[in-house]
Every structure is written in structure tokens, then in C-alpha cells.
Structure 1
């Protein structure tokens, strides 16, 4: 890659810390569930029914308590009198407190505990609890299915997005940072949704239904309970506002750490060769410490939410206990009702504390969601055209390439190519030479439409490449880069990558043409030898030969060789020169090389300096001119 491309990578800066829009990201996250609306409706219905049933049960249990308490008190009263007479008798004795308590009870003097009624009431409560538990279990199962399908769809969106992003996006970012968004952030999002969405939904339903039941028992006690809610909300918001930034920093720093690990492990041999182990470890410790401090701060701050809200909620218990006790003593409420109300207070405060305790998980998930949404919102390549390049009819040579006053720069105001024009005739070989950083590889990137020109045109067979779809263009181009890359799989599969439908004989023929066959037979499994770690188990020269065989098999119309022989020895280079000479027959070829022996037989040699073509001609013509090319040969 040229220095210009290297400058692009060096110019990339890590994402800045900025305030995040928690509410907008949460709304967008909820909208992701829309395709699963049928399952979501079933989840809502089951949650509603299960919650309502679960909330009704405390009233039933309170009724059972009243039956027991009424029976105990009733047995102590004389039989044959009415409750009003018993109340009057108590007041006559001066026992006004007992009289007030008795007036609020449904007691029959002389009658003891109706254990059959108590048993029926408890059995009804047990059955309702079982039904509620069953509904909540089914709801949880359906919700897990909904979350998994939603995240499956999100992963598909991200995968599709990655293929629509321009090459500039990947040039400007570390590979590990991009991978962290695709893997770690989505995994964290799935974990957060699975842990929080069911609890949040259940908590909201529980709070609403419990509040209704509390009001039916005692509006006064309900008001006491609600007094603490605004205080809890204010405390939660105050803490959450500070922890949100910490969570975003946590996942941003995790991406940086992953990028460092990916680079250091990929270049492990280079690290050892240059003795940079200590520096790499120091950098790892620094990045790891940043992740630790951000994570520690986020967890510490968000962890304060639950204790704070629990303390505030406990204040409502004190108020309910005091006022409720007075109301029972004065006959304004029954013992069973106050028992049910206290249960409702616990059920009411439980979801509030529950939401507070899982708020750190929710914030962490939303922070990851924002990073994924940032990826999905990145500017894509310009929409592809429907028009394709004219089909090859085999009548005469094709592949005329023309650069017409092309200018381009990776950054505005910093041109790499300026007003560049030349024509490659069909079947000719064009060599591009010049110092590092003059735009040789950039020229090839523009031909492949990895980038679009700022001005001017590039034409293939007279057609402007910006007017046709990229696939029809790139399917005609075979490329062999100096940076070889092999995929996980066998050697045969890597050769066939350029033409997946190729047969075994075609693969072997391509391997023989690129001189891969001669070393494959020295391997234990031959063509079925598996390539690991991007080809780390075979030499750099052998990897280069496999990529050349891949280009042989594809048989493209246009051929690009970017330092394709940089990793092979001199003898192999001569063999490849013979093979590529046959491969280039009737094909337009572009060769980028520093070795003059590789380009000596090119039809046209373009000499570039500072983004411009300063000389062009064949080897003999350029030497005779004694210009820039001649000076290169002498150097």
C-alpha cells in the first residue's frame, strides 16, 4: 500500500467521548423488536394476565387472614348476640379501642374459625399463583425467542452494512475496533436485553396493577407510599447521568484494547523479531487500565442506585406501618387488608428497586447499541447502478482502459493524483513505477472503484465505470497484491476462491501454471492441507504463489499485479514471469513493481512522480531519454 494510504490510516483518530442520547437510542432499540410484533403481543398478553393474577392473590390471602382473625375474636364473644351489641358492651366497659377494632371486623359472636373457608381461600390463592407462574414462564420463553430473533436480524443488518461501506471506512479504523462493534457490542446488547427487557416490562405492569389495588384498599396509605417515588427517581437520574458516560467509555476502550490485541497477535513474529515485547505489554497494560477504570467507575456509580432506592423505599414501610396500625386500631381497615397492603407495598417497591439494580446492565446495553447504531448510520458507498458492462462476445481483444484527466485525494485539499491521463490498449501490459507514495496503488484502487474519482473519468471499453454496477466491473478484474491473504480452508479452496465452480482439474492446472503444484506435493495432505492463521503455516513466497494461482483460475479480462513477486526468490520470479506472460496474453494488465526486471517487457511504462505521469514509453525508449526512468535504473 502506498504512503498515501498509510497516511489515511495514521490520520484515523479514536472516537471522541461525547454525551450520548440515551432516550433516542432506547427508542430505536425498541423499534428493532417491531418485526416480532406477533410474538411481542403474545408476550404482552401473558405478562398482563400473569401480573394481574399475581397481584390479586395478596387480597385473597388477606381475606384468609381476616377469616382466621375474625374466628379467633368471634370465639371470645358471647354467642347469641350481634356484633353491634358486642361493640356497645365493649364501650360500656370503657374498652373503646377494642370496640373500634371490633366495629371494622366482619365477626359473628360465638363462632370460631371456619377452617373450610380458610382452606378454600388458600387453595384458590395457590392455584392462582401456579397459573401466574406458568404464564410468566411461557412469557419469558417467548421473550427470549423474540430477543434472539431480533439480534439475529441486527447481525444480518450489520453484515449487510459492512459490505456496503466504502473502503475508506476500514482504512480509517483499526480492524479490532470494527470487530469489537460487530462481536462484543452485539453480544453485550443481547445479554442486556435478555436480562432487562422482561424485567422492565413486568415491572411496569406490576407497578400499575399494584397501584390500582392499593388505592382500593386505602388511598391514604397509597399516598404515603407514592411520596417516596419522586425521591427515588431523582436519585436514580442523578446517578445515571454520571454513569452513562462511563459505560460508553468502557465499550469504547474495550474496542481499542481489542484492536491492540488483534494487531499484536497478528504481528506476533514481528514483535519478537524486533524485541518489542516490553513495549507491546506496556501498551496493553495502559489500555487494559483504561478499560478497568472506566468499568470500575461505571459499575461503582450505577451500583449506588439500588442501595439509594432501597433506603428511600424503606421509609415508606415505616410510614405505612405507623399509619396502618392506627387505622386498624380505629377500625378503619381490617388486619387482612393491612397485611395485603404491606405485601403490595413490597410488590410496588420491588420493581422500582429491581429496575434500579439492573440499570447498570441497561445502560451498558444501550451504550453498546449506540456503537452498533453508529456503524449502521455510517455513510455508504454511492448506490450501485443497474447497468452492467457489455458482455464479452469473444470477437477480438477487449479491455481498453482510459484515464481521462483524473484527479483524486483521500482528504479534501490533499490531492494524490492530479489531472492524470493515459490509455491502456486492449491486450497490452502497462507497468507503473515511481517512488513510494506517488499514487501507484491509488490508481489501481480507482480502477477497481474502491474509491470514486474527484474529477475526470475512467473508461473500460469506452464505458465510464461510474455508470455501471461495481460487480460487473470487478468480476472482470483479477488482482494479486503484495499483501497476500489466505482464508481458513484448504489450499485447493483458496485457489478456487476466484472461481468457486471450478473443477479439480482446473484448480490443478492453475496451480501448475503458478508453480504451486511443485511445493504442494511436499505437504502431508497435498491440496487438502489446511491453511491456518491467514497462511501462517506456509511461507510468504508460497502464499504469494497461491494468490497468483487464484488469479490464473479466475481468467479475468483485466489483470492487476501489485508487487506480485515481492515475496518470491529470483528463480521463482523468473518462473512466474513466464507464467504471467502467458496469462497476460490478450488481456490488459497493470503491473506495479519496484524490480525493473519485472516490468522490462511491458508494452508501456508509466513513470509517476507526485501524483503525475512524468514519462511514458517502453523500456528502451525511456532509457534512451535519460530522464526519470533512467535515473531509477541507475539508482
Structure 2
């Protein structure tokens, strides 16, 4: 929670000007809302003392209309600014989270479903952004309306003010009871949505496998089950959320009727002036706005807590030592590319060693063939060399330096890696050959293609180096993609 608060304050400082502008517009609009009933009541009182009210009445109505138009304009401008701030904030949060996720070690991705990651980017960040822009930003104006209406009504008629304020405890109890039901449902919806995204992502990524084994109907049913679960959870959530609004409206309607009844009674007994009665009714109607907002605040906060807790697990995950060196070490040059494993041991799980005391040296320009049974650790050695993982014991030397002090970026820049599974990015053949060498020229790409023996294959493609390979290389033949 402290981490979430610190990050929230950091965001506020970054977008302070936008937040303050929106807040200022909302406060001005709130002030107009509070002034207008008092002005109408004063004009009505003044007109009651005049023999002819035509001139004053027209001027008063014109002023009221101008204030209402001004208030509407403020509400429009603040709404546009608020939505713009929300869109900017959501985009910024998405970019930051995506960048952070890419900096996490491979162990994180091996233990986290893709659907959970996609749900963070699509659902949870939206919840946080909505709460910051639409709930927190409007909280202060709603508090001002609440306090202002209560004080002004108390000044006119204390008993009516007490009736209105007495509604708050009932609304708090109702919202808390409903919030206890909504919070676990919101978490369950987020988890089920993540499962649904994971199923869809898996099926689309392996669509050729699905089609080759005629599993279209089986996979459709599997996806439909997640959607059915999601539908039931949302129906239950909407049921509780839909209950809140009628209860709030009923309680506030009772309060307004009470105001009307007491006002009529006091008006007949001449204990209340007509102008004050009008002001009380107008303030009572305005008072409904913050009451409705406060009623949903508890449930929205619970929803936020669920999303923020899931995001915190990712934000607090330790990232790779990407650019920086380990403390106490300085940048060094690597005279050679010699690779040496010194007593390297590693296990993915405790008490299940994959590699034990591995030693070998690969000289620059040399070649080495690693042979072993499935699961013997051949790919694991490459994973350790690329620093996807760190050895439990021993060390890996590159150019005479411990790879751990060099930083991930420097190590991976010196390694050309062709995985056993074909991995191509969506884009052109040119883009995939130049992957990892940003800014590579056409001459460099053609030279690399020639050295790799790709000249004949590229010449056979419709657009040569500019041929689109499709996501995962789906537009290429299996043989061409493997090459």
C-alpha cells in the first residue's frame, strides 16, 4: 500500500499542472452550484417586496440563465480536460508497465501466464486510471458541495440540514455491505478475464496446430467456458452494483420529500419564507450529487485495491541488471570473446539439479557441439550464457571477465543466438535480419544474408527483403522460416 501511495504521489507531481487545472475548474463549477440557489432565493425575496416585478424578474432570470450556461460550459471544459488527462495517464502507465515487464527476468515469464500479463495492461491499469481521474479528482468538489449545502441549509433551517446529513450513515453502511460482496467478485472477474485472454492467446499463437488436429470446436468450447464463467460473475457484480443506485435514490428522495413537507408546514405557519423554501429545495437537489458519489466510493476503492495489489506484484518484481554494472565494478573492455564455464551448477527447483560442476572453454573462432539427452541441460547452458538465469554456483567468464559484472546488455550484444524454436517478429525479412542491430544499413543486411546463405531464398520471395513475414513468420514456408 505504501508503494502504491508513493507511486500515486509521483504521478501527481508529474501531471500536477493538469490535475490542478481540472480541480480548479471543478471547484469554480461547484462554487456556481452553491451560489445559484442563494441568488435565486434573494431575487425571489426582493421581488416579493416590489409592486411591479417585471423589470427585476427579467434581469434575474437573465442572470440565472447566464450562470447556468457558465456552469454548463465549465462542466464541459472540465469533462474534456478530465478525459484527456485520463487518456494521457492510461497511455503513460501502459508504456511504463510494458517497459518494466520487458525488463523482468525470464523466471517471471516462466511462472506467469500471458493472460495475467495482458489483463494487467488492459484491465487493471484502466481501473487505476479511472479511479485517479474520475474518483480522486472529483472527490474534493463533491466534499465542498456536501459541506457547503449542509452549512447553507443549516443557516436557513437547522432541522432540515440534520435530516439531510442523517442519510449519510445509512448510505455508508449500505455501500460497505455491498462493497464486501463486490470486491471478491471484482477479483474473480479479473482472474477469469486473464484466463480467457490466456486461452485466446494460446490458440491464436498455435492456430496451425489447432487446425491440423481439427480442434476448432474443442478450443471454441474451452474459450466459451471461460466466457460463461465471466458472464455469471459479471451478472452477479452488476446485480449488486444495480442495487446501490435505487437505494441511494430512495433515501435521497425520502430526504427531499421530508424537506418539502417541513418547508410547507413552516411556510403555512409563517416560520419560513417562500424564498428560503425555494433555496432549501434547490440545495436538497444539489445535495444528491455528492451523496451518490460517496455511495459508490467504497466499492470503487475496493475495486482499486484489487487492481493495485496485482500491479504491485509486478512493479515490485526485481528487474534484470540490464545496463548498470554490479556495485564496486567499473566498465571494462573485452579483449576477446572467449567463453569459459567454471564449476557451474544450476537448478530450476531446489533439490532438482540440472547442471552440476560444468567446466569448458570455448576459444574465439572455435566451435563446440554439446550432446545430451532431452532435459540434460543443453538449452539451460545457453540460457545461463544469455543471463536469462544466474548460476547457483560457479561463474561464467566472457573475455576473462565474470559475466555478472558486465551487465545483461553488454553480454547479449556480443552473442548471436538462433533458438531451436523458430521465432520471427511481425515485419519484413529485412527487419528480422537486422534484429538487434538498430540502424543497420541495406548493405549490412544484404551482407549478413549472403553470409547466412539466404540469398537464393530471399530472391524467391515476392518483395525480397521487403517481404512481410507475418506474425511468427506465418506467411513464410516452414523451411524458409527455419532457415
TM-score of the pair, normalised by structure 2: 0.91
RMSD between superposed Cα atoms in Å: 2.6
Deviation at 1:26, TM superposition (A): 8.0
Unaligned stretches of 5+ residues in structure 1: 1-20, 71-106, 546-635
Deviation at 1:233, TM superposition (A): 1.1
Deviation at 1:322, TM superposition (A): 2.3
Unaligned stretches of 5+ residues in structure 2: none
2:397 corresponding residue in structure 1? 459
Partner SS state of residue 409, structure 1: strand
One of 325, 342, 350 as aligned partner of 1:385: 325
Q: Which 10-residue stretch deviates more, 353-362 or 460-469?
A: 353-362
Contact 1:404 1:457 in 2 (8 A): yes
1:286 corresponding residue in structure 2? 225
Q: Which 10-residue stretch deviates more, 135-144 or 259-268?
A: 135-144
2:378 corresponding residue in structure 1? 440
CA offset digits 1:331-358 (Å, max 9, x no partner):
2221121111111111112321245468
2:431 corresponding residue in structure 1? 493
One of 23, 37, 44 as aligned partner of 2:23: 44
Distance in 2, Cα, partners of 1:208 & 1:531 = 63
1:399 corresponding residue in structure 2? 337
Deviation at 1:360, TM superposition (A): 6.2
Distance in 2, Cα, partners of 1:485 & 1:409 = 26
**How many residues of Structure 1 are paired with residues of Structure 2 in the alignment?**
480
Distance 1:26 1:350, change over 3 A: farther
Deviation at 1:276, TM superposition (A): 2.4
Contact 1:491 1:528 in 2 (8 A): yes
Q: Which 10-residue stretch deviates more, 286-295 or 507-516?
A: 507-516
Contact 1:490 1:529 in 2 (8 A): yes
Distance in 1, Cα, partners of 2:71 & 2:180 = 36
Distance in 1, Cα, partners of 2:458 & 2:271 = 94
Contact 2:104 2:317 in 1 (8 A): yes
Distance 1:298 1:506, change over 3 A: same
1:268 corresponding residue in structure 2? 207
CA offset digits 1:16-73 (Å, max 9, x no partner):
xxxxx7x9968965763331112222222222222112211112222333345x3xxx
2:32 corresponding residue in structure 1? 53
Distance 1:24 1:319, change over 3 A: farther
Bigger proportion of residues as helix: 2
TM-score of the pair, normalised by structure 1: 0.70
CA offset digits 1:376-419 (Å, max 9, x no partner):
122323574165774355xxxx3222211111111223222122
Partner SS state of residue 430, structure 1: coil
CA offset digits 1:195-254 (Å, max 9, x no partner):
545554442332222222212211111011111111011111110121011112112211
Distance 1:502 1:321, change over 3 A: closer
Distance 1:323 1:335, change over 3 A: same
Distance 1:482 1:463, change over 3 A: same
One of 168, 185, 193 as aligned partner of 2:124: 185
CA offset digits 1:154-212 (Å, max 9, x no partner):
12321231232111111112223312322343345445655545554442332222222
Q: How does 1:494-573 map to 2 (within 5 A)?
A: 494-545=432-483
Distance in 1, Cα, partners of 2:226 & 2:20 = 44
Contact 2:320 2:408 in 1 (8 A): no
Contact 1:492 1:528 in 2 (8 A): yes
Contact 2:172 2:295 in 1 (8 A): no
